[in-house]
Amino acid sequence: MPPRTLPEKEFHSHAPGYWQDKNVTPEQWNSHVWQLKNRVTTLAGLEEHLTLSEEERAGVLLSGNKLAMAITPHYFNLIHPTNPDCAIRRQVIPRIEETWEDPNEMSDPCGEDSHMPVPGLVHRYPDRVLFLVTDRCASYCRYCTRSRVVSGVGEQELHTEFEAAFRYLEEHTEVRDVLLSGGDALLLSDNKLESILKRIRAIPHIEFLRIGSRVPIFLPQRITPELCQMLAKYHPLWMSVHVNHPRELTTEVKEGLERLANHGIPLGNQSVLLRGVNDNPEVMKSLVHKLLMCRVRPYYLYQCDLIQGSSHLRTSVSKGVEIIEHLRGHTTGYGVPQFVIDAPGGGGKVPVNPDYVVMKDDQRTLVRNYEGEFFEYPEPGNQVATWSSTPANRLSMIWEPGAKW
Q: Could you tell me if 258 and 364 lie in one domain?
A: no
User: What are the E-state strand segments in 261-316?
Assistant: 267-273, 297-303
At 381 the pLDDT is: 78
Q: Is residue 199 part of a domain?
A: yes
What is the tens place of the pLDDT at every residue in 53-67? 999 999 999 987 889
- Decide if 294 is catalytic: no
Q: Could you tell me if 339 and 364 lie in one domain?
A: no
What is the tens place of the pLDDT at every residue in 69-90? 999 999 999 999 999 999 999 9
Q: Is 137 among the annotated ligand-binding positions?
A: yes
Measure Cα distances from 289 to 11, 242, 337 in Å. Answer: 12, 15, 12
Q: Is residue 276 part of a domain?
A: yes
What is the tens place of the pLDDT at every residue in 12-53? 999 999 998 888 999 999 999 999 999 999 999 999 999 999
- Decide if 177 is catalytic: no
pLDDT exceeds cutoff 60 at 2: no
Q: Could you tell me if 181 and 198 lie in one domain?
A: yes
- Decide if 90 is catalytic: no
Q: Could you tell me if 241 and 158 lie in one domain?
A: yes
| Domain final residue pick, 328, 351, 374 | 351
Average pLDDT, the chain: 93
Within a 13 Å sphere around the CA of 215, how many CA atoms are in the beta-carbon half? 26
| Domain final residue pick, 351, 367, 390 | 351
Q: Is 144 among the annotated ligand-binding positions?
A: yes
At 155 the pLDDT is: 83
pLDDT band for position 401 (cuts 50, 70, 90): very low
Q: Could you tell me if 237 and 251 lie in one domain?
A: yes
Task: Identify the sign of the CA torsion 270, 88, 274, 328.
Answer: negative
pLDDT exceeds cutoff 70 at 8: yes
pTM value? 0.93
Q: Is residue 214 part of a domain?
A: yes
Q: Is 141 among the annotated ligand-binding positions?
A: yes
At 395 the pLDDT is: 47
What is the tens place of the pLDDT at every residue in 105-141? 999 999 999 999 999 999 999 999 999 999 999 999 9
Q: Is residue 106 part of a domain?
A: no
What is the tens place of the pLDDT at every residue in 354-367? 999 999 998 999 99
- Decide if 124 is catalytic: yes
- Decide if 144 is catalytic: yes
What is the tens place of the pLDDT at every residue in 314-357? 999 999 999 999 999 999 999 999 999 999 999 999 999 999 99
Measure Cα distances from 142 to 36, 80, 150, 162, 314 in Å. Answer: 18, 17, 11, 28, 12
179: domain CATH number?
3.20.20.70
Q: Is residue 108 part of a domain?
A: no
- Decide if 146 is catalytic: yes
At 5 the pLDDT is: 85
Which of 95, 146, 285, 394 is flagged as catalytic?
Answer: 146
Q: Is residue 5 part of a domain?
A: no
- Decide if 275 is catalytic: no
Measure the CA–CA gap between 159 and 149, rounded to whole angstroms.
Answer: 9
At 382 the pLDDT is: 66
Number of domains present in the structure of the chain: 3
Q: Could you tell me if 36 and 127 lie in one domain?
A: no
Which of 137, 143, 285, 294 is flagged as catalytic?
Answer: 137
Q: Could you tell me if 252 and 346 lie in one domain?
A: yes
Which of 86, 144, 294, 304 is flagged as catalytic?
Answer: 144
Q: Is residue 79 part of a domain?
A: yes
- Decide if 125 is catalytic: yes
Q: Could you tell me if 180 and 80 lie in one domain?
A: no
Which of 86, 110, 141, 304 is flagged as catalytic?
Answer: 141
Q: Which domain does 380 fall in, by range? A: 357-399
What is the tens place of the pLDDT at every residue in 147-181? 999 998 888 999 999 999 999 999 999 999 999 99
Q: Is residue 104 part of a domain?
A: no
Q: Could you tell me if 345 and 368 lie in one domain?
A: no
Measure the CA–CA gap between 308 and 145, rounded to whole angstroms.
Answer: 9
- Decide if 95 is catalytic: no
At 23 the pLDDT is: 87
At 74 the pLDDT is: 98
Q: Could you tell me if 40 and 66 lie in one domain?
A: yes
Beta pairing partners, 106: 307
| Backbone conformation region of residue 293, classed left if phi is above 0, alpha if psi is from -120 to 50, else beta | alpha
Which of 57, 124, 201, 297 is flagged as catalytic?
Answer: 124
Measure the CA–CA gap between 215 and 227, rounded to whole angstroms.
Answer: 12
- Decide if 342 is catalytic: yes
Q: Could you tell me if 65 and 139 lie in one domain?
A: no
